[in-house]
């Protein structure tokens, strides 16, 4: 320390006078060092300050009054007071539980978009939630009928079609529907959409169309299917491939079951379609096994109905158009080849059951009723013109001799079988063709119960 004096450090309150220093560490003359303040009975002083004790007594008095008022009148003394206190506690607990329950109920009502007041509209939670569905080839013959059913069910539908064989008129009646959208797009090019389900129908299906550009046909089957499978994988959508009975080729087994591997010419004029669909099935199953993608495969047999392309080379449309125009019915070969014909609404029902079911497939979707070409010509004559002539021409290459589906698997696992026989479905198709051929077409045709 400097000299004989000591330095004092002041730790008093800020409102007390500060000591002055002479610069050498000695206190200024006339001033003495202050003593630290004395605070006796700290807790008691805190309780008495600012009337805290008064408020404490008032709170206890109010609590006692509540207990006494809650207790029932009569004798019983302390027990009744205790019962009253217990009652208050129970009421408080019940109130807290009710508040918690009402909060949970309100949250659930908000999440489920349920009305919070009585007498409101039908709760949305009771209605089926609409799905977002893509239908490739949705402006075509089968695709447009599928779109009708999906929209009627309440789904939002996006049609993707390049209009090579599809027609805008097939879906024009949905133009004002907010749940309907159409994109003109070729599935050979990738597309990104947010959807729940993909019905992949895009591909020319008639010999006239798929032979017109065979390289494009096989690209549609392979690259187009690959693009749609990639989309399904990215967005987690369920994927349904519409394959064909042509994967069986010229079958050596009759009727055809799904386990039959087929008899196909890999280098023939029809192989762009036959082998293209077989490759599409391969890709679909590889995505299912390798990427755990939800897939479904339908093998479609001959289908007929309104909105078929006129003169597309398929036997039913050929016969109907020719009979309406008073032209000879052209039968290729000896006319003893057999086919099975299902009405379009039966097929659509089968596709939807397959998509909503739990089985991958493949499933044969067709009508097991078998007709020779001559028998079919007779049905067309009876329906349109009994005097229509039949003209025989040389058969086309690789034309299957017999075609009949075994639908036992679809019956057992999907609960599906066709309901409309040929003699009931054909007149509906004839009316649609008559309207279009002779120019008095109505706004849109309805396919029976579709």
Q: Give 91-134 pLDDT, tens digit per residue.
A: 444 444 444 444 444 444 434 443 433 334 545 455 567 899 99
331's enclosing H/E stretch is strand 329-332
pLDDT at 141: 95
Q: Which two tokens stand for residue 81?
A: 């007071």
- Residue 412's Cβ-count burial label (10 Å; 0-12, 13-18, 19+) is exposed
pLDDT at 42: 62
Average pLDDT over residues 20-26: 43
Q: What is the DSSP letter of 291?
A: H
Output Rg (C-alpha) for the chain, integer angstroms: 42
Contact 25, 2 (CB under 8 A): yes
Q: Which two tokens stand for residue 436?
A: 């279009």
pLDDT band at 233 (very low <50, low <70, confident <90, very high): very high
pLDDT at 449: 40
Per-residue CA distances from 184 to 44, 137, 228 (Å):
87, 10, 15
Q: Please give the residue that has the higher pLDDT: either 425 or 12.
A: 425
The pairing of beta strand 370-372 with beta strand 338-340: antiparallel
Q: Could you please report the per-residue DSSP string of 211-275?
A: HHSHHHHHHIIIIIHHHHHHHHHHHT-EEEEEEEGGGGBS-SSSSB-TT---B--TTSTTHHHHH
Q: Which two tokens stand for residue 268?
A: 């023939």
pLDDT at 172: 95
- Percentage of the chain with pLDDT > 70? 73
**In whole angstroms, what is the distance from residue 60 CA to residue 390 CA?**
109
**Helices (DSSP H) in 71-206: which residue ranges?**
78-111, 141-153
Q: What is the DSSP letter of 41?
A: S
Residue 20: is its pLDDT beyond 50? Answer: no
pLDDT band at 212 (very low <50, low <70, confident <90, very high): confident
Instruction: Note the pLDDT tens digit of each residue in 44-102.
Output: 666 566 666 677 777 888 888 877 776 554 444 444 444 544 554 454 444 444 444 44
Close Cβ partners of 167 (under 8 Å, ≥ 6 residues apart): 139, 140, 307
The length of the chain in residues reads 450
Q: Which two tokens stand for residue 5?
A: 């004096």
Indicate the CATH number for domain 132-449. Answer: 3.40.50.720
pLDDT at 37: 53
264: left (phi over 0), alpha (psi -120 to 50) or beta: beta
pLDDT band at 211 (very low <50, low <70, confident <90, very high): confident
pLDDT at 14: 44
Residue 285: is its pLDDT beyond 50? Answer: yes
Active site residues: 273
pLDDT at 169: 94
pLDDT at 56: 75
pLDDT band at 325 (very low <50, low <70, confident <90, very high): very high
**What are the boundaries of each domain within the chain?**
2-70, 78-119, 132-449
In terms of Cα–Cα distance, which of 137, 165, 399, 140 is closest to 270? 399
State the average pLDDT for the chain: 80
Range with the poorest average pLDDT among 18-22, 198-202, 292-296, 404-408: 18-22
Q: Please give the residue that has the higher pLDDT: either 357 or 443.
A: 357
**In whole angstroms, what is the distance from residue 349 CA to residue 359 CA?**
16
pLDDT band at 447 (very low <50, low <70, confident <90, very high): very low
What's the CA dihedral at 9, 11, 16, 19 to 10 degrees?
0
In terms of Cα–Cα distance, which of 103, 199, 183, 93 is closest to 149? 199
pLDDT at 95: 47
Contact 45, 38 (CB under 8 A): no
pLDDT at 85: 47
Q: What is the DSSP letter of 118?
A: T
**In whole angstroms, what is the distance from residue 344 CA to residue 301 CA?**
11
The pairing of beta strand 132-136 with beta strand 197-200: parallel
What's the pTM value of the predicted model, to 2 decimals?
Answer: 0.69
Backbone dihedral angles phi then psi of residue 190, each to the nearest 5 degrees: -65, 155
């Amino acid at each position: 320390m400097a000299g004989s004096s000591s330095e004092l450090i002041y730790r008093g309150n800020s409102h007390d006078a500060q000591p002055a220093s002479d610069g050498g560490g000695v206190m200024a003359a006339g001033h003495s060092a202050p003593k630290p303040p004395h605070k006796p009975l700290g807790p008691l002083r805190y309780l008495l300050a600012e009337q805290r004790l008064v408020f404490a007594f008032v709170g206890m008095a109010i609590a006692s009054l509540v207990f006494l008022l809650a207790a029932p009148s009569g004798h019983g003394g302390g027990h009744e007071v205790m019962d009253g206190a217990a009652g208050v506690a129970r009421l408080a607990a019940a109130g807290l539980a009710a508040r918690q329950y009402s909060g949970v109920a309100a949250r659930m009502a908000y999440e489920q978009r349920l009305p919070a007041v009585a007498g409101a509209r039908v709760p949305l939670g009771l209605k089926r939630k609409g799905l977002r569905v893509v239908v490739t080839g949705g402006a075509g013959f089968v695709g447009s009928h599928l779109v009708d059913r999906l929209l009627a069910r309440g789904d939002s539908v996006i049609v993707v079609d390049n209009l090579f064989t599809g027609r805008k008129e097939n879906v024009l009646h949905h133009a004002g529907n907010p749940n309907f959208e159409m994109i003109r797009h070729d599935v050979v090019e990738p597309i990104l959409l947010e959807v729940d389900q993909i019905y992949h129908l895009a591909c020319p299906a008639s010999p006239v169309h798929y032979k017109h550009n065979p390289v494009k046909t096989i690209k549609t089957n392979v690259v187009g299917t690959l693009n749609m499978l990639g989309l399904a994988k990215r967005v987690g959508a369920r994927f349904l491939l519409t394959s064909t009975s042509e994967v069986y080729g010229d079958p050596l087994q009759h009727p055809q079951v799904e386990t039959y591997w087929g008899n196909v010419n890999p280098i023939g004029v029809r192989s762009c379609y036959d082998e293209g669909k077989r490759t599409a099935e391969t890709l679909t199953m590889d995505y299912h096994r390798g990427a755990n993608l939800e897939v479904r495969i339908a093998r479609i047999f001959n289908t007929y109905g309104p909105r078929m392309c006129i003169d597309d080379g398929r036997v039913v449309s050929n016969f109907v158009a020719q009979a309406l125009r008073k032209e000879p019915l052209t039968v290729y070969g000896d006319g003893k080849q057999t086919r099975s014909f299902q009405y379009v609404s039966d097929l659509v029902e089968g596709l939807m059951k397959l998509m909503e079911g739990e089985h991958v497939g493949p499933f044969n979707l067709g009508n097991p009723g078998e007709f020779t070409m001559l028998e079919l010509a007779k049905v067309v004559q009876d329906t349109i013109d009994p005097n229509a002539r039949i003209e025989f021409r040389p058969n086309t290459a690789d034309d299957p001799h017999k075609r009949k589906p075994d639908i036992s698997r679809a019956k057992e696992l999907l609960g599906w079988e066709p309901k409309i026989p040929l003699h009931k479905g054909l007149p509906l198709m004839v009316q649609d063709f008559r309207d279009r051929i002779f120019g008095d077409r109505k706004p849109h045709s309805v396919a029976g119960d579709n």
